[in-house]
Structure 1
Amino acid sequence: MSENDFSYLVHDEQFINYCLQRNAADVQYWEERLRQDPMLAREAAALKPLVIALAAASQQQEARQQWQLLQQQLGSATVPTPRKKTIAWYRIPAAAAVLALLLWGVYLLTRPAPLPTPTAVNTTTQDIPAGGNKATLTLANGSRIVLDDTAEGTVASQGGVSIHKNSTGQLTYTITSNNQSTDTGYNTIQTPKGGQYRVNLPDGSRVWLNAATSLTFPAAFGAGRRTVSLNGEAYFEVAAMPNAQPFTVKANDFTIDVLGTQFNIMAYADEKNSRTTLLTGAVRVTKGDVGKVLQPGQEAITGSGIQVRDADTEAAVAWKNGMTVFSDADIHSIMRQIARWYDVDIVYQGEIPQRQFTGKIPRNANVSKVLKILELSNIHFTIDGRKIIVTP
């Protein structure tokens, strides 16, 4: 356990008594201690709602296993504090598990950053950092540019179009000549597992690419329909054109037609269904001879057919806004997201419990923090290099 990791407090009896105001001596002890330690006071304020939720839930009688797992994960190492005792929480039922999961995610999100202190290297603990701005651009002539290794500035020019990279993981196409070629060819930007990138298309439309995603598009759009092809997941902000020039996205075996709008498409090959979520404007999703028009706040689930339903728009675009969000997601769906963002392989051993997860955590968190949240539901994880082993 890190010197600045205070998560052990969730099973410290004195701290629990302080949070629940049920022992005058412990309350006095902790009030004095927090007055003397501002960092600890901030951590305690973040952890207090979690402790209260756990105390309420533990009164319900179910098996003890789940919170014993939490005790193991949050640290077997002891922290020297006077009169310290620990409590093993009882397993909480499903509804309370969701609340505790959310509170623990909020704690991880809001806890103050630790002060930089010298730490010893622990060779027995493995962790994997989050992904970042990484992508490869393939030009119409077949040349490839690794964008994360390329300096800021103009990276290429083709047919009267300039391609510029900035420092924040953004690529911009700018028409530099009124006499640009009518056929500039197609470019492809591709993010690897563990990568993300943003591209501003030559018509002014903006596209955010999630991990393991490719987008193919003309270096300059002509006078007709604007058409791009997507494999993976991307968020689009489509620029409206004066002549109402349509914008079409081809993804897997369906298309999305739009004039000017904001929407997200999730169309990974390893997902059973694709998902188109509309934030503003209107789009038409077509598969074969069937077409459905979406209104803002709706999503189209495309599999054997097209199903339209109300959407959780915040969850759909959370990745673009720097968060990882689970909304009633099963473990296999979550682990596919983890595999793409952290560039890892997932191995399942044994019969994994079927549970639904709801929670959120910053997208830049190391994978261990995500797994620590999931382990609240009686599932184990082992990190072995770039492989994560999932066990009951």
Structure 2
Amino acid sequence: MAKPGFQELFSRYLAGNTTEDETQQVLAQIAAGTDDQELNDWIATYWEQLEQTDGRYTSETGQPILNKILGSPDGQEKNTPVVSLRSRFLHQWRWIAASIILVLGIGSYFLVARKSKDPATVAINAAGIQPGKAGAILTLADGSQLLLDTIQNGVIPLHGSSTAKVINGTLQYNNAGKEATYNTMSTPKGRQFGITLPDGTQVWLNSASSIRYPTAFTGHDRKVELTGEAYFEVAHNQDKPFLVSVNNKAVLQVLGTHFNVNAYEDEQDIATTLLEGSVAVNVLSASNHQNLNTHHTLYKNTVILKPGQQARVMNTVTDSTAVNSIKVTNANVNKVMAWKNGLFNFEDANLEQVMRQLSRWYNIEVVYEKGIPDIYFYGEMGRNMPLIDVLANLQTTGVRFRLEGRKLIVLPL
């Protein structure tokens, strides 16, 4: 039976108004109360009411979480009423509230948040590791490089009469000239930067990314090459389609539109998410990888995205042959665009996915002492926090770390 006053305490917990001791009481009571039908019914009713009064939440993502809370330790669901659960309420409260739920894949059970067994190790060693900031390296046509971190607001001489300038963390090509030479802007780990291309197209590069582009678009189209992750707002030009070559595996073709591309080599797929306009996602066959500069490149597969959709170019093996295919789904746009909006979005992200994001943004190496713990997270965190704060928040879920210099070692649960 739920302890007297638990309903009021639980309501305050969801609103982020509990002390640390009260938070531990709530989590412990839920963990211990999964056999308490009265408690289960009350939690289900509370979330049902939340669904009716707050239109921001979706039952599609919430139902699996409810099943985990009301389920048995061996992962078998109990005979409880199926209700809609608003899981996205987790986003609006502090991380300790958001970390209430995580799913351990094998056995699927509800884990009470707890403090690290050795918080001092992380606290001492991570104190000096700050979040990423604006910065990039510009490689000119002659191979010379400029560190854009050190240029506040100034003019950069390029090839011939071409010039560019840095304004508030963005490289702008205002006098590109008529001769096309190629520049490359790259962001190391722990850096991100913006660029306005000669045609007015705006691009934001996430950390560990690069874009190669001409200083003038003189041909029949506008071609750039991308690695890593970037968000594009393409200037409309009916006569010159905009082409993005991605890792020599896909070519995106647009006239004028807004979209995000995640093409990190350590991610499983190339994900293109459309926010506005239209984009054609073209998969290249191996024979066409050398023909990206031809106007009539033949594509193996093509899909046209609508706003809110995401195309994933997946590498699969059939009969010992690698094949690229496309899968289109509805996108979680908030999750996709979180990086540009200054957030980490860990909605339904496993530990390995979370660590890859932290590795790029904090310029750290992540290793696992004994395999990768099978943990999934829900919630958001700001990208402006020092690493020490991020790790402290993650440790409330039971994950443990050891930091040696810039090497973060994930310890077994």
TM-score for the superposition, normalised by structure 2 = 0.68
TM-score for the superposition, normalised by structure 1 = 0.71
Deviation at 1:103, TM superposition (A): 4.8
Q: 1:260: which partner in 2?
A: 256
Q: 2:9: which partner in 1?
A: 20
- Out of 311, 314, 320, the position equivalent to 2:331 is 311
SS at match of 1:172: strand
Matches of 1:204 and 1:109, distance apart in 2: 42
Matches of 1:375 and 1:201, distance apart in 2: 42
Matches of 1:61 and 1:108, distance apart in 2: 23
Q: 2:174: which partner in 1?
A: 174
1:365 lines up with 2:385 in the alignment: yes
1:291 lines up with 2:302 in the alignment: yes
Matches of 1:100 and 1:309, distance apart in 2: 20
Matches of 1:99 and 1:54, distance apart in 2: 18
Residues 318 and 124 (structure 1), Cα distance of their counterparts in 2 relative to 1, 3 Å cut: closer
Contact 1:236–1:262 under 8 Å retained in 2 = yes
- Specify the code of the residue in structure 2 equivalent to 1:219: T
Q: Any residues of structure 2 matched to 1:59-98 within 5 Å, and which?
A: 59-60=32-33, 94-95=68-69
Deviation at 1:336, TM superposition (A): 0.9
- Out of 176, 200, 225, the position equivalent to 1:229 is 225
1:329 lines up with 2:349 in the alignment: yes
Q: 1:269: which partner in 2?
A: 265
- Out of 269, 272, 275, the position equivalent to 1:279 is 275
Contact 2:137–2:148 under 8 Å retained in 1 = yes
* Residue ranges of structure 1 left out of the alignment (5+ in a row): 1-15, 22-41, 63-91, 111-121
Q: Any residues of structure 2 matched to 1:59-138 within 5 Å, and which?
A: 59-60=32-33, 94-95=68-69, 103=90, 106-107=93-94, 124-127=124-127, 128-138=129-139
Residues 44 and 357 (structure 1), Cα distance of their counterparts in 2 relative to 1, 3 Å cut: closer
Contact 2:159–2:181 under 8 Å retained in 1 = no
Deviations 1:14-56 (A, max 9, x none): xx999739xxxxxxxxxxxxxxxxxxxx995798996786366
- Out of 198, 205, 226, the position equivalent to 2:201 is 205
Residues 95 and 147 (structure 1), Cα distance of their counterparts in 2 relative to 1, 3 Å cut: farther
Matches of 1:150 and 1:371, distance apart in 2: 32
Contact 1:187–1:217 under 8 Å retained in 2 = yes
Q: Any residues of structure 2 matched to 1:339-378 within 5 Å, and which?
A: 339-378=359-398
Residues 18 and 239 (structure 1), Cα distance of their counterparts in 2 relative to 1, 3 Å cut: same
Structure 1 vs Structure 2: percent identity of aligned residues?
36
Contact 2:243–2:253 under 8 Å retained in 1 = yes
Deviation at 1:158, TM superposition (A): 3.0
SS at match of 2:378: strand
Matches of 1:346 and 1:123, distance apart in 2: 17
Number of equivalences: 314
Deviations 1:45-76 (A, max 9, x none): 798996786366244259xxxxxxxxxxxxxx
Matches of 2:159 and 2:263, distance apart in 1: 30
SS at match of 1:272: coil
- Specify the code of the residue in structure 2 equivalent to 1:149: T
Q: 2:290: which partner in 1?
A: none
1:139 lines up with 2:112 in the alignment: no
Contact 2:154–2:165 under 8 Å retained in 1 = yes
SS at match of 1:190: strand
Deviation at 1:249, TM superposition (A): 0.3
Q: 2:321: which partner in 1?
A: none
* Residue ranges of structure 2 left out of the alignment (5+ in a row): 36-65, 71-84, 98-121, 285-299, 316-324
Q: 1:57: which partner in 2?
A: 30
Matches of 1:53 and 1:281, distance apart in 2: 46
- Out of 185, 190, 213, the position equivalent to 1:217 is 213
Deviation at 1:274, TM superposition (A): 1.1
Matches of 1:17 and 1:60, distance apart in 2: 11
SS at match of 1:377: coil
Matches of 1:338 and 1:59, distance apart in 2: 33
Matches of 1:387 and 1:369, distance apart in 2: 17
- Specify the code of the residue in structure 2 equivalent to 1:174: N
- Out of 169, 188, 204, the position equivalent to 2:184 is 188
* Stretch moving more, 51-60 or 130-139: 51-60
RMSD over equivalenced CA pairs, Å? 3.6
Q: 1:380: which partner in 2?
A: 400
- Specify the code of the residue in structure 1 equivalent to 2:169: G
- Specify the code of the residue in structure 2 equivalent to 1:211: S
Deviations 1:116-148 (A, max 9, x none): xxxxxx993533211001100011122110011
Matches of 1:382 and 1:311, distance apart in 2: 35
Contact 2:95–2:380 under 8 Å retained in 1 = no
SS at match of 1:232: strand
SS at match of 2:94: helix
Q: 2:58: which partner in 1?
A: none
